[in-house]
Amino acid sequence: MPDSDEPRETVADIGEFGLIGRVTAGRRQPATTLLGPGDDAAVVAAADGRVVASTDVLVEGVHFRMDWSTPEHVGRKAIAVNMADVAAMGAVPTALLVGLACPKSTDAGVAEALAAGMWQEAARAGAGLVGGDVVAADQIVISVTALGDLEGRAPVTRGGAMPGDVVAVCGRLGWSAAGLAVLGRGFRSPVTVVGAYRAPEPPYPAGPQAALAGATAMIDVSDGLLADLAHIAEESSVAIDVRTSLVQVHQRLVEVASALGADARHWVLTGGEDHALAATFPDPREVPDGWVTIGTVGRGGGVTVDGLPYEKPPGWQHWR
């Protein structure tokens, strides 16, 4: 972006197609992209014959703040939250379509940095940015649609958990919630904790890995572990019990919680936006490496913690 004493180039100055050209020129696409940006629509290979698709919308002031995150962080987050959903179906992310709405006064460098973060996160999962749209709006809104390939496997839905299964997770839990709490107090460190809020790092390969291992149900932990496990419990008509003795609470989170007067275990159980994966497996011996068993599936309904209802809010809910 230009220095503060230089004239500021805005997205209005370079125009819709000028911006699209800047953020797509010279970018490499994976082999699954048969036709990328530049035409009326993209063409993406679907060797499996089925396409997994998911969409999320991020709104400035609700899902991110530019005074808390860099544009690159926001771009990475916008991509991560979508590809995590694809991975949670047991699929490999292949392509992304991005819609960007922003005020005409938006610094062109901000828009380019948003795109740079998107390309960076897409490359981490081996997916391509194949198209999208840019429009004028009163605030920054990012809409992303992610596509994925099941590679011949059946999708792993939320509705397949069975009594007798075990519950396991892969990825970080509680870190983003801790980072949000730190930023909300006006601090910018510890960097590792704040960074987890700014740009989550979903374990994309763990989704297909779980599917190959026989996972019966799976979900992206976006709103909080207990809240998202409740979706599996409801869709599968089962009861899920989480054992706190099995849930790992990183010492760094304990330290931050102590400094803020908060509860690190509550962050882990209910904090959203880490985009870890939670899944159920028929046998503890079938849980893949990198996954941690944290509970059991039984008959009945709902989610309990150590056999009892959790007395605090189980996670994030919109409009509440």
Annotated binding site for Mg(2+): 40, 54-56, 85, 133, 220, 223
Torsion angles phi and psi, residue 206, rounded to 5: -70, -25
Which residues are known binding-site members for substrate?
Answer: 63, 273, 316
How many whole angstroms separate alpha carbon 123 and alpha carbon 113?
A: 15
How many whole angstroms separate alpha carbon 247 and alpha carbon 292?
A: 8
DSSP-derived 3-state class of residue 231:
helix
Nearby residues of 173 by Cβ (< 8 Å), 6 or more positions away: 221, 225, 247, 248, 267, 268, 269, 271, 274, 276
Which residues are known binding-site members?
Answer: 40, 54-56, 63, 85, 132-133, 158, 220, 222-223, 273, 316
DSSP state string for 232-253: HHHHHT-EEEE-TTTS---HHH
Beta bridge partners of 97: 131, 145
114 and 17 in contact (C-beta within 8 Å)? no
Could you give the angle at the alpha carbon of 171 between the alpha carbons of 78 and 122, nearest 5°?
35
Q: Where are the alpha helices (DSSP H) in 237-318?
A: 251-260, 264-270
Which residues are known binding-site members for ATP?
Answer: 132-133, 158, 222
Question: In the chain, how long is the greatest CA-to-CA distance?
Answer: 66
| Edge-to-edge strand list for the sheet holding 217-221 | 217-221, 276-281, 166-170, 292-298, 239-242, 302-305
Encode 183-213 in three state secondary structure: HHCCCCCCHHHHHHHHCCCCCCCHHHHHHHC
How many whole angstroms separate alpha carbon 222 and alpha carbon 227?
A: 9
